[in-house]
Structure 1
Amino acid sequence: METRPLNDVTVIGLGPMGLALADLMLKSGKRINLWNRSAAKAQALLARGATLAGTPSQAIASSPVTLICVYDYQAADAILHADDVPAALNGKLIINLGTGGPEEVKRLAAHVHDCGARYLDGAIQAAPSQMGTDDTPLLVSGPASCFAQALPLLRILAGNPIHLGEKIEDAACMDLATLSHVYGAYAGFLHGARVAEASGIDVATYGRLVNSMASSFGAFFEHQAGVIAAADFSISESPLRISVPAVRRILTESQRLGLNTDLPALMDRWLRLAQTAGMMDEELAALIRVLRPQEHLSSVPGRGPAIPA
């Protein structure tokens, strides 16, 4: 008869996110083992029935599945190479939920595979307080069989786990894409806040308005992504030509108010390049061709002359 493992899952890393993940698993009835460089962070979880390992290798050996949630891939790599950890990895499923670039992911996955373990890479798309809800997104990449095995556990952590594919670096790549949107949007939010401040408009009211627009603009961005994927820039929602004067107006007024103009100047430059390339009667999403290498611009038939360098 097969012996049941001592624990259902091990959690390595008890920062704010790691604590949130461990908390959710305890609430779901999972038997969890913990390891953290600072054992003091585990005390509240130990009082609720978790156990604490003395070393990473002991933690990994005690469970069939290990979740790693540490600061970055350098930290995860150091843990997975430490002492007798490589021997403990054999036969285990490792799910790394830290942050790192695609090349770091591939190197770490190769090490785990070399040690006889299976590996999933994940990118959390929420704050600790937002974990565990029905719509919390969690990006995952790696073997479909591993994802199927881990899915019940992942759904405890995030109600919307998304398997992006077998390529182990896909979650990290998509994380870069979504974070690009988040930080780009936040830059726009901050510039808007400065416009409000300088114009005597209540910034809290501005924030509420931005929140009310979030759903409709999310749908707009989804549509624009479909346009880009289809490479059909025929006007369908927002002609590029209306954004040229709109952004120029933001830039001109920002200059008049004495604001930082880095962001509107960048958008204004992109739009002027698009205008030069004859893209005024295309969908706004055609602007992506300004960001692509020049050879891609001429590869789309009937889409205007090449953008000058």
Structure 2
Amino acid sequence: MKQVAVIGLGQMGSTLARLLLQADMQVHVWNRSPGRSTPLAAAGAVVAPTPAQAVRDAQVVVMCVHDDAAARSVLAMDGVAAALQGKVLLQLTTVSPQEARAAAGEAHALGAGFLAGAIQVAPEQMGKPDTTILLSGAAADHDRARDVLAAFGGNVVYLGENPGAAATMDLATLSYVYGAAAGFFQGAALAGREGLDVRAYGDIVHAMSPSFGAFLRHEAGSIAAEDYAVSQSPLSISVDATRRIEEAMRERRLHAGLPALIAQLLRDADRAGFGGEEFAAVVKVLRAEPAPS
């Protein structure tokens, strides 16, 4: 039977432990606040009095704590470093790319494997076929942890051996999430100020989201190929559109900081000579590329 340790029993860590139990693995758990382990003990988990004892008999160690500082403090506890030797540490704590690379180096120095993961869903969405987990680290360690990862979700995206890749891609996807969410709330404010039904606005956005996702995937292809010939939407159209959005927000006395920023970004792209290229060419401004001669 596969033996797995779960260190950290917050909402996500407790969910991970339950999923492993449901996958018929022997699960050893530890948390700073012992009370969190009681429901898991009732479900069959082995509650360890120290993190070193939780790690000792495990083949894979899953860590999901508050941040990098919390992870480091656990690894510095008595006996943990020695117990990690020969194990795979699956770090699901949210960390920066730099912190992930440093943690990988430290784990390898202890004789342990290391995988960095970034969970893209809430705890209640774990364990489903479309649950997305970003993963990076040595391919051999990935192979050793496949069954553990399979218990957590069906869409594990392996990004290669660079341990900082998962954290970087997490920041990239969050850039989209926060940018899209901020734009959505801006639209809700605009529609509401005009007296329109904000629920209807939400329904419209929901219906158009799949096709917009397909459009963004197309734009990603243009960026990856460095081919900005107009194929879907010329950048110049968006220059005018974002100007109108900014004007509408100001006219209705709404906060215009976000639309002003977006409109300025598009004007910068146009002035740099990218207006006649595909919309994706705005990435050249974000990469601070020089204007064409």
Instruction: Report TM bin, short chain.
Output: over 0.9
**How far is the alpha carbon of 1:297 from its aligned partner?**
2.9
Aligned to 2:198: 203
1:111 paired with 2:106, answer yes
Aligned to 1:68: 63
- The whole-number CA distance in structure 2 between the counterparts of 1:292 and 1:170 is 19
- The whole-number CA distance in structure 2 between the counterparts of 1:152 and 1:89 is 19
Task: State the Cα deviation string for residues 220-247 of structure 1 (Å, max 9, x = none).
Answer: 1111111011111000011111111111
Aligned to 1:179: 174
Aligned to 1:47: 42
Code of the residue aligned with 2:281 in structure 1: it is A
Task: State the Cα deviation string for residues 235-272 of structure 1 (Å, max 9, x = none).
Answer: 00111111111111111110011111111101111111
The aligned runs of 1:95-174 (5 Å cut-off) are 95-174=90-169
SS of the residue corresponding to residue 258 of structure 1 reads coil
* Pairing partner for 2:276 from 268, 276, 281: 281
Code of the residue aligned with 1:175 in structure 2: it is D
SS of the residue corresponding to residue 106 of structure 1 reads helix
1:78 paired with 2:67, answer no
**How far is the alpha carbon of 1:132 from its aligned partner?**
0.7
SS of the residue corresponding to residue 94 of structure 1 reads strand
- The whole-number CA distance in structure 2 between the counterparts of 1:185 and 1:131 is 23
SS of the residue corresponding to residue 132 of structure 1 reads coil
**How far is the alpha carbon of 1:95 from its aligned partner?**
0.2
What is the percent sequence identity of the aligned residues? 46
The aligned runs of 1:224-263 (5 Å cut-off) are 224-263=219-258
The aligned runs of 1:20-31 (5 Å cut-off) are 20-31=15-26
**Which stretch shifts more, 269-278 or 224-233?**
269-278
Code of the residue aligned with 1:111 in structure 2: it is E
Aligned to 1:297: 290
Task: Give the TM-score normalised by the residue count of structure 1.
Answer: 0.92
SS of the residue corresponding to residue 108 of structure 1 reads helix
- The whole-number CA distance in structure 2 between the counterparts of 1:137 and 1:297 is 36
SS of the residue corresponding to residue 78 of structure 2 reads coil
SS of the residue corresponding to residue 277 of structure 1 reads helix
1:57 paired with 2:49, answer no
- The whole-number CA distance in structure 2 between the counterparts of 1:144 and 1:214 is 34
Aligned to 2:33: 38
Q: How many residue pairs end up in the alignment?
A: 293
Task: Give the TM-score normalised by the residue count of structure 2.
Answer: 0.97
SS of the residue corresponding to residue 11 of structure 1 reads strand
* Pairing partner for 2:183 from 185, 188, 196: 188
Code of the residue aligned with 1:45 in structure 2: it is L
* Pairing partner for 2:88 from 93, 100, 109: 93
Task: Please tell me the root mean square deviation across aligned C-alpha atoms, in Å.
Answer: 1.2
Task: State the Cα deviation string for residues 153-208 of structure 1 (Å, max 9, x = none).
Answer: 10110101111001111111111111111111111111111112211112222122
- The whole-number CA distance in structure 1 between the counterparts of 2:206 and 2:14 is 29
Structure 1 runs (4+) deviating above 2 angstroms are: none
Gaps of 5+ in 1: 299-303
Gaps of 5+ in 2: none
Task: State the Cα deviation string for residues 61-94 of structure 1 (Å, max 9, x = none).
Answer: 1211110011111111111112221111111111
Code of the residue aligned with 2:290 in structure 1: it is L
- The whole-number CA distance in structure 2 between the counterparts of 1:84 and 1:237 is 58
Aligned to 1:301: none
SS of the residue corresponding to residue 168 of structure 1 reads coil
